[in-house]
Structure 1
């Protein structure tokens, strides 16, 4: 949202409407790629008219999974946790991972996925008291093999000396956007875990378009719970 920052999309303009991605029901379609009754990812408006050449992703929701899960654990937060851990972390059973902001939408999923793979998980949340304990915990429980950082600051400073990866060469994933778009192994792996209760997630719902301001402020001030 900061003006002039480099990002994957244009900055929001002051005084203009802002948008986010949501799920929508197709009420009418004149193209074969999307049919009436489909559920699609689109910018969130009460009603939206899209041209036939607009790239759209249709989801096939599992009837045993809440539809809202495709915005949370089976949506962007889940994909971030899954691919970040799998492709960058390459976790192995017996390793130790430290997750900052471990109570958040992504951090909580990273912790659960790592635990399921047999890793020792150390997680911290946002209170000053917990931040003050990070250095002591890492000194006692380290060294750590994987550090999942959400916030930088003193926790990153404490994690670096405790890490076992300081000499590892940096690795940059070149096809992450393609992987996220195609979703490859993601839904096949996480959907059964969600259905079986092996992966838990927290959603905080704000009802109605009039609650958007409240939701945005909660997210930016850290007063939201989960996604």
Structure 2
């Protein structure tokens, strides 16, 4: 059985480009007991994958040069030698970027596409939704009347964070990279104010106007100058949730930023970074609550879906220029 896969051709220096990817034709091995053959339906591209392109120790192993990239995939079982899964089942798993793949059935999660569209299991009912849920509620612990600021607010995680914060009775302020995204967040997703960080004349002035009572919770997906500006407004006992730092993922040299720890000290603030897999044991709880909110119409979601397996590298690169609204996916 023939398939096409996308491998890491070389490690990027700075911002990745098309030369870092290579398409290869392969022959799949014979299916063994307990395995299934899969065809992908949707493949996720996510900012964290940039870190895996470096040969550096992190919370997850790096991609290997010459080996396929991998990530979250919703796929259909087309052949099975497992009693747990049958042909036609739809599953979720960490799979290679390939037009077909073989995987152990025990490492896959069967999903119910009657409850929600298949793509949602890579978004609001998948890693981004879980990330928003645990980061905001477990670390941020928002209280009614507080001000929550979200960077990367129009991304897959940020859209969900803002809506959950609104469900908790908070004032929610977002930062996004276009007027179109700002309008979408306010009209469709309930944000009270959104600042276009690319066009603002003075980010700190605009943030202060949007947060007249200061900042109680900051959900940081971006880092960089945006975080420097937000931290200047934190209140006593503020909670700072470090989820992503996409502003730094392509840095070749460490950036020198403001030293804000004295402010953290005098405000008795909490800073905590987290990886969503820290909460693996509680995933069922979160998926049930997120699913209920979606079913009740309390959570909306948006996806940017690009058609074609061959578009995977382009879709991934688009994350770093803000081409996505909500979750970025490739439909195979």
Larger Rg belongs to: 2
Residue correspondence of structure 1 range 142-161 to structure 2 within 5 A? 142-161=213-232
The whole-number CA distance in structure 2 between the counterparts of 1:116 and 1:137 is 25
- Give 2:321's match in structure 1, choosing from 209, 221, 226: 221
The whole-number CA distance in structure 2 between the counterparts of 1:98 and 1:145 is 8
Moved over 6 A (4+): none
Higher helix share: 1
Pair 1:83-2:134 in alignment: yes
Question: How well do the aligned residues superpose, as a CA RMSD in angstroms?
Answer: 2.4
SS, match of residue 201 in structure 1: coil
Residue correspondence of structure 1 range 85-164 to structure 2 within 5 A? 85-126=136-177, 127-130=197-200, 132-140=201-209, 141-164=212-235
Equivalent residue number for residue 110 of structure 2: 58
The whole-number CA distance in structure 2 between the counterparts of 1:122 and 1:206 is 29
Higher mean alpha-carbon deviation, 117-126 vs 163-172, is at 163-172
The whole-number CA distance in structure 1 between the counterparts of 2:71 and 2:276 is 21
Equivalent residue number for residue 121 of structure 2: 70
Change (3 A) 1:195 1:98: same
1:144 Cα deviation after fit:
0.9
Q: Give TM-score, length-normalised by structure 1.
A: 0.86
1:106 Cα deviation after fit:
0.8
1 or 2 for the larger relative contact order (CA 8 Å, sep ≥6)?
2
Q: Give TM-score, length-normalised by structure 2.
A: 0.61
Higher strand share: 2
Which ranges of structure 2 fall in alignment gaps of 5 or more residues?
1-49, 178-196, 239-263, 328-332
The whole-number CA distance in structure 2 between the counterparts of 1:124 and 1:208 is 30
The whole-number CA distance in structure 2 between the counterparts of 1:47 and 1:93 is 48
1:133 Cα deviation after fit:
4.5
Change (3 A) 1:27 1:188: same
